[in-house]
């Protein structure tokens, strides 16, 4: 993987519409919407289900191990 200087922009994505997350992968049961031009991730399972209610939205881009988001 390439080396980056601190503060180097490695990705820019407005996450404002469905096209911005093309290639992202949802694991678990979540709902991804874009109200007011901003991505919103919501759980569709009851929080009382504990870990069964977890979900992850994977970005397809590799990032450095010390990335700050």
DSSP string across 28-62: ESEEEE-GGGS-EEEE-S-GGGGGGG-EEEE-SS-
**Mean pLDDT in residue range 42-69:** 90
Measure the CA–CA gap between 3 and 39, rounded to whole angstroms. Answer: 29
DSSP state, 27? Answer: E
Average pLDDT, rounded, for the chain: 91
Q: Is the pLDDT of residue 1 over 60?
A: no
**Domain ranges for the chain:** 14-45
- Determine the pLDDT at residue 40: 98
Give 68's pLDDT tier (boundaries 50, 70, 90).
confident
């Amino acid at each position: 993987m390439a080396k980056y200087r601190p503060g180097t922009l490695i990705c820019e994505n407005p996450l404002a519409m469905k096209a911005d997350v093309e290639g992202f992968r949802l694991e678990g049961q979540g709902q991804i919407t874009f109200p007011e031009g901003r991505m919103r991730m919501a759980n569709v399972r009851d929080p009382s289900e504990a870990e069964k209610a977890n979900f992850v939205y994977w970005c397809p881009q590799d990032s450095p191990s010390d990335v700050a988001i």
